[in-house]
């Protein structure tokens, strides 16, 4: 069964899971050129496991003073959908990147639809970088009383793209830099 007498956990895993379908969004995520930490963050986002205020309330953690989004003044509950897709702050970030969301779809389907509708080869990486920086701005506001600023988000996003460029092939690196310069 193993091909030889040696057992390994990877062979067992491949045997057991060889016929399980893999969601295309996770295939794209794990094949992306993001660092493992950013991939793990995006995976948590896609499976609704990020510790948003809504998630903390669902797990019976006391969230002071309320569970409202800290990035906007709409007094909406901070869940994944609001924080990353419908919050006015997040919408301004996505608009800067010319990304529009179909909020009638699930989060995984929404991201797949966005990937399919854009012609950028590094769109998965761009999505992860942008979402990561939205998350960092949110955390800075909660834990460090930081400011919520679109210009700060864009500068951090741009810095993140430049940091991650070493992981991207040379031909894609040039197109990514040109794309970033075109939206600046």
Q: What is the pLDDT of residues 113-133, one digit of tens each?
A: 999 998 888 999 999 999 999
Residue 16 lies in a domain: no
In a domain, 124, yes or no: yes
Do the domain assignments include residue 46? yes
* Residue 14 is assigned to a structural domain of this protein: no
For residue 88, give the 3-state DSSP assignment: helix
| pLDDT the model gives residue 2 | 60
Q: Give which of 137, 110, 115 is closest to 126, Cα–Cα.
A: 115
Nearest-angstrom CA–CA distance, 132 and 109:
19
Domain membership flag for residue 73: no
Which residues are bridge partners to 77 per DSSP?
68
**Percentage of the chain surpassing pLDDT 70?**
98
Choose between 93 and 184: higher pLDDT: 93
Domain assignment of residue 174, yes or no? yes
Per the structure, the count of domains in the chain is 1
The predicted model gives 8-35 an average pLDDT of 89
User: How does residue 170 score in pLDDT terms, banded at 50, 70 and 90?
Assistant: confident
Q: Which DSSP helix (H) or strand (E) runs through 15?
A: helix 9-17
- Would you say residue 1 lies in a domain? no
User: What are the structure tokens assigned to 3, written together?
Assistant: 């091909």
pLDDT digits (tens, 9 = 90+) for 36-78: 999 999 999 999 999 999 999 888 888 777 889 999 999 999 9
Threshold 0.75, pTM exceeds: yes
Tell me which residue range forms the domain holding 170. 24-52+80-183
**Residue 11 counted as domain residue:** no
The HSE-up count of residue 119 (CA atoms within 13 Å, CB side) is 2
Tell me what pLDDT residue 65 has: 75
Q: Do 96 and 154 meet the contact criterion of CB atoms below 8 Å apart?
A: yes
The pair of three-digit structure tokens given for residue 97, joined into one six-digit string: 């990147």
């Amino acid at each position: 069964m193993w091909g030889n007498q040696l057992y390994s956990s990877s062979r067992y895993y491949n045997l057991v899971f060889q016929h399980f379908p893999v969601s295309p969004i996770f295939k794209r995520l794990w094949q992306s050129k993001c660092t493992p930490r950013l991939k793990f963050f995006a995976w948590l986002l896609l499976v609704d496991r990020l510790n948003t205020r809504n998630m903390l309330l669902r797990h019976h953690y006391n969230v002071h003073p309320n569970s409202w989004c800290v990035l906007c003044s709409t007094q909406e509950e901070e869940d994944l959908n609001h924080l990353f897709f419908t919050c006015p702050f997040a919408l301004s970030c996505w608009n800067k990147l010319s990304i529009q969301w179909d909020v009638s779809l699930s989060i995984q389907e929404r991201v797949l639809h966005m990937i399919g509708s854009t012609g950028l080869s590094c769109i998965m990486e761009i999505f992860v970088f942008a979402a990561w920086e939205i998350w960092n701005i949110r955390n800075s506001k909660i834990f460090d009383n930081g400011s919520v600023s679109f210009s700060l988000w864009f500068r951090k996003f741009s810095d993140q793209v430049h940091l991650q460029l070493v992981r991207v092939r040379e031909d894609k690196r040039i197109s990514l830099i040109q794309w970033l310069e075109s939206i600046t």
